[in-house]
Structure 1
Amino acid sequence: MRPRFVLPAAFSVAAILLLVSCNRGDLPGKKQLESEQVQASPVAPVVSSKVVEELPEAAVSPLTVEQRLEDFDYMWKIIEENYPFLEVNKRLYGEDWLANKEEYRNKVAAVKTDDEFFRRMRFVLSGLNNGHTNFLSKEEYPWFLESYIRAGLGSEPWVNVFQQSNVLVRYNQKPLTEQQQSPKESNNNVNSGETGSKTGMTSGNVKKVIIEPDQIAYLGTRSFAGNLMEMDSSEIRDFLIEVKDYKTLILDIRGNGGGNSSYWRNNMVPLLINKPITYNTYSLYRGGDYSEAFMQARRLSEGLLPIANIKDEQMPNIPPEATTMFRNYNKNVDIVTPYQSVGFKGEIYLLVDSSVYSSAEGFAAFAKGTGFAMVVGGKTGGDGLGTDPLVAALPNSGYVFRFSLQMGLNSDGSCNEEVKTVPDVEVDPDTSKPLLDQPAIKKVLELAASQ
């Protein structure tokens, strides 16, 4: 029987992970990105709010070759000095991104239009093979901006990038100061301050199944999006109360590309565990100048240790570049305590696959690292330990890109983006068949029967 633990209701700002995320499985391939047919990056979930307001389509002066190359050089310098996974990219994909600079730069110089420039720059970043590192399309701009506004205190540098004058022109938006509604009013229109149980509404994000009465229950969540947390919380809690005396609970996050780690930290785990646990992870930082304002805003600069000290942590699987490419690190200690626990005492199984990414990956890493659940399915997507990707705006074009800030290490020192989460029990995670015919579900039922 796997040990059972408890999770707290509140966490440090540094531990609240990846407010907005991207499913690695949804990213276009490099060939597709370079194709003239590609118009935009994958579109984020639609938010029915008016935090930003589009202007009538405005004419933007075409960029010169010199301006495009200046933008390329600006992006390159930021990535070169701040991005944490350059060596991981070599090991996983055999791609030495920095060595391709002149090839990429020549391709950027050869484009004829701003749209071609955007697609080419997307292609360049795709060489990093990271789901948090990409350019944002016009369709994505409102959703990302609203997500950072919702985050509130500590997210000012992110919002400021989105509100730069050249960004507003490029993405055809009005500044927040000219909006008829304030962000607070707009946010209230989205949630109305009411939970799902009060309104009788459900988001459709949660799937609940009683597989065997009084014995086996199933709870699936397709997304950890921050705007779903409040509505889903009562639905999840009511179900967990209903099945609190069951012997087996299956939590299914297959296909979940993440969102906000507070979703699982507040809505799920604290209700299911019963005693404290300490969970240690580590965050490594390159120390580039661009990241400083973001780190200060999130108070990540507090408690930074010189990278030379990391040898004292006695971690056997630390990446070889940790002490050569990085300047500082944090040791993140979560003291996990229960909150409104339903008193569940049975076995928990967590189903995962390669699309589990970002804050969903954080849940998988937590579950395996602490023994909260037995992890079943396929290897996950990674990059689940840390905080929001940083954002930057190109100085001439105003196009916005984002990128991972830190290298998150599991408690044994392994890089989460590199090793991801390998399930305790590996089995085909396919979800195309009816629930009870899926290999992962069959495996859990087999494991539950053997307890």
Structure 2
Amino acid sequence: MKPDAKKKVEFFFICALVVLVISFFAFSIYLSKKEENGEFSFNSFKSGFISFEDCIADYEAFWDFIYTEYPFTEVCERKGADLKKIKDEGHKKIEYSAPIDSQNSYISFYAKLCEDITSRYFTGHLYPVSMRDYEYGMASSDSYFKLYDVDLMNSFYSAKPYYTVNSLIGSGARMVKADIKIIEEGKIAYVRIDSFRKRGYAKEYVQYKKDMKKFFLDTEKYKHIIIDVSHNGGGSVECYDSDILSYNNIGRNIRQKIYFLCSKNKYTELNPSFKNNQIDIKEVPNIKNANTKKNTIALYEEDAASFQELSPGYAPPKDRRYWLLISGKTASAADRLAGLCKASGFATLVGSNTGGLGHNGFYSPIHMMLPKSGLLIKFDLLYGLNSEGYCTDEFGTAPDIYNLPDKDALETCLEEIQKLESRD
């Protein structure tokens, strides 16, 4: 090829390339303008298990639920959550990443969203239903299933989605376990339980039942029993009712009356307590401390420990003292235990205020379903109050004895026992 001809080819090639680049940028600007006007979305070129439009529909449904049916929005805001900012930032994340490619990514997005809304306290048990919860708890129908598209729900969880919880409550312990220690032979015994998770009759729960029964038999004549749930984030109430309280409920009348507030919505209307246990809000003790405008309907429930004979002739000392160690990591079923012990006088509470979540009703938590994906969000539908009338999920259950300066709950408890013994 002659030099002049070669130069002409190069010139035309460069011109064509320049035209293509200019056209590309011009078209991109054009599409961006279209996207701003809602006439086009770059996300339409992506593929995923759920479309961009359905992601947005789910997101709007979630926030409508937060503002109208989730009873703890005021608590979350008082704990520092800027809900408008969280919502706007979440919307931007969807615009950037949708359509989301997998159920794993989707459930993780909502887990982080619930973390942000509750400042990682998961107030009112607000977090996505995990695969484990789905398999264990959703196997049988309940009255709330009429609110779900069950086929869509099953389709979502058929992918076995997974996420991790970044929580400020509990210890992260997976299953119930009793760690036993004799502090003073013949007098002071201690058991630490960091979880009440039992998963049916899993082998860990079977072992725990054996260990707790043996613990109470071996310490029958001990005067002081210390039960440490200061790192217990909850689980099943059976772990304390059947295996702690029932063995020691001889003439003690371990019971409490719990008060709640709520609004009228499609979830509360299916709740048995909403149907049967409504009372005048003026009947709620210390109602002035409840601090909610959203929840104006008052209810109550009665909670009581069961009874079973540990063994024929089992007779602990009549002056036996029970001590329950608590902290801000004590939550859910462990918080419910704390409230029951405090209300009945069964045990003296030592430590710091619990993390709450244990006084939001027998039938909590329940679930709401995102309408386009089938993802379930767990939540408590009642705004539970502690004995002082404050929201339990905000203030927790207060101890009878707060930690001494520079001492933990066990050290404080042992000092209190020493004081009592010195008086006798």
TM-score of the two chains, using structure 2 as the length reference:
0.71
Q: What's 2:383 paired with? A: 407
Q: What pairs with 1:215-234 in structure 2 (closer than 5 Å)?
A: 215-227=187-199, 229-234=205-210
Structure 1 residues 365 and 314 mapped into 2: Cα distance closer, same or farther (>3 Å)? closer
Q: What pairs with 1:299-378 in structure 2 (closer than 5 Å)?
A: 299-305=272-278, 309-321=280-292, 324-334=293-303, 338-340=307-309, 342-344=314-316, 345=318, 346-378=320-352
* RMSD over aligned Cα atoms: 3.1
Distance 1:429 1:121 in 2: 40
Picking from 29, 54, 59, the partner of 1:72 is: 59
The DSSP-based 3-state class of the residue aligned with 1:422 is: coil
Q: What's 2:157 paired with? A: 171
Picking from 109, 124, 133, the partner of 2:113 is: 124
**TM superposition outliers: structure 1 runs of 4+ over 6 Å:** none
**How far off its partner does 1:375 sit?**
1.4
Q: What pairs with 1:46-85 in structure 2 (closer than 5 Å)?
A: 61-85=48-72
The DSSP-based 3-state class of the residue aligned with 1:226 is: coil
Distance 1:264 1:444 in 2: 20
Structure 1 residues 107 and 292 mapped into 2: Cα distance closer, same or farther (>3 Å)? farther
Do the aligned partners of 1:229 and 1:267 also contact (CA within 8 Å) in 2? Answer: no
The alignment of Structure 1 onto Structure 2 pairs a total of residues equal to 341
> Is 1:142 paired with 2:142?
no
Structure 1 residues 238 and 120 mapped into 2: Cα distance closer, same or farther (>3 Å)? closer
Q: Please give the per-residue CA displacement for 1:253-272, whole angstroms capped at 9, x wherever unaligned.
A: 12111011122122101212
Structure 1 residues 429 and 337 mapped into 2: Cα distance closer, same or farther (>3 Å)? farther
Distance 2:296 2:73 in 1: 15
The DSSP-based 3-state class of the residue aligned with 1:372 is: coil
Greater C-alpha Rg: 2
Structure 1: runs of 5 or more not aligned: 1-59, 175-202, 431-437
**How far off its partner does 1:85 sit?**
0.9
Picking from 252, 264, 269, the partner of 2:245 is: 269
TM-score of the two chains, using structure 1 as the length reference:
0.67
Distance 1:210 1:277 in 2: 26
- Which protein, 1 or 2, shows the higher relative CO under an 8 Å CA cutoff with sep ≥ 6? 1
**How far off its partner does 1:358 sit?**
0.5
Q: What's 1:281 paired with? A: 258
Q: What's 2:74 paired with? A: 87
Picking from 214, 222, 241, the partner of 2:217 is: 241
96-105 vs 67-76, greater mean Cα deviation: 96-105
Q: What's 2:392 paired with? A: 416
The amino acid that maps onto 1:394 is L
Distance 1:224 1:244 in 2: 23
The DSSP-based 3-state class of the residue aligned with 2:135 is: helix
Identity over the aligned pairs, expressed in percent? 24
Q: Please give the per-residue CA displacement for 1:224-259, whole angstroms capped at 9, x wherever unaligned.
A: 113355542232122102212111111011211101
Do the aligned partners of 2:56 and 2:94 also contact (CA within 8 Å) in 1? Answer: yes
